[in-house]
Amino acid sequence: MPPPSSWWIATRPWSLSASAIGAFVACACSYTFHHSFHFGLFILTVVFVVMTHAGANLSNSFFDHKYGVDKPQTSADRTMFDLQLQAKHVMYFAAVCYIMATIGVNILIYKIGDIWFFLLSGFMAMLSIFYTAGPIKLKYLALGDLVIFLCYGPLLVLWCWYIQTRKWSWIPIYHSISIGLLTEAILWVNNARDVVTDRLANAKTLPQIIGPKATIVFYKALYLIAIIPPSFLVIFYGRYSMIIPLLVMPFCLPLIRDFEAQKWKTLDERTAQFGLMFAILYSV
């Protein structure tokens, strides 16, 4: 039996903040605009989304290995190679995470009793599962970036917002844009790093399609566009608290320099840390 640390590392814990920050931003918005915040629901929401994210990470590792995308000699994701985990271990653990999250979400669906919330929950679950699972395998069809932006940006924040407010609104969608872009930056680092191995495995990604120069431009654009929503609120609505997350933007410059120099080691982790720092300050 693999040691407990192997199970923990397999979930890629450094990335799990990407799902938690959606709940932070949604709850900050619900309190600011509707004076609605239920601490218990917030904790449950964070647990459910993080469990789903962990399950998605594990299934991603499993299917990347199954379809030959990840190989022992070249893969940056070492879940299937260095942690004493067999494929069945990873898939069982992913199933446990998904089942626990599903039980919790179904309780929420039952208590809320809204058909649109049910449909949104189901749609997000399908995107999570079929990100790498067959027969759709969205990640390998150059749709991974869109899926990640939607799942960790607009869809997640709207879902968490509705749990708190029981109201549908464009407010959480607007405030999710920057969060979704900075989360997408994590995947963009991975896809840019793995261009060669993904191509050999016949897995299409956007960096393959647009080429190395445009890939660098796109990475820079993710940070640049993320500045726009809070800046707009400062300039046109006088919401000066939105200046706070903008103060951390210079910290993305070392990330961009390392991306240009193809210094991939820990770049995805540091990109996730930057997104977490930005989101926490955005939620203030």
157, amino acid identity: V
Q: How much is the pLDDT for 61?
A: 87
pLDDT digits (tens, 9 = 90+) for 107-136: 889 888 889 999 999 999 999 989 988 788
Mean pLDDT of the chain: 91
**Separation between Cα atoms, residue 213 and residue 193, nearest integer Å:** 13
Radius of gyration (C-alpha) of the chain in whole angstroms: 19
Distance CA 19, CA 96 (A): 18
CA 26 centroid distance within chain? 15
pTM of the model: 0.92
**Across 60-66, average pLDDT:** 84
DSSP codes joined into one string, 256-279: HHHHHTT--TTHHHHHHHHHHHHH
pLDDT tens per residue, range 186-198: 999 999 999 988 8
pLDDT digits (tens, 9 = 90+) for 215-232: 999 999 999 999 999 999
Distance between CA 270 and CA 148 in Å, rounded?
18
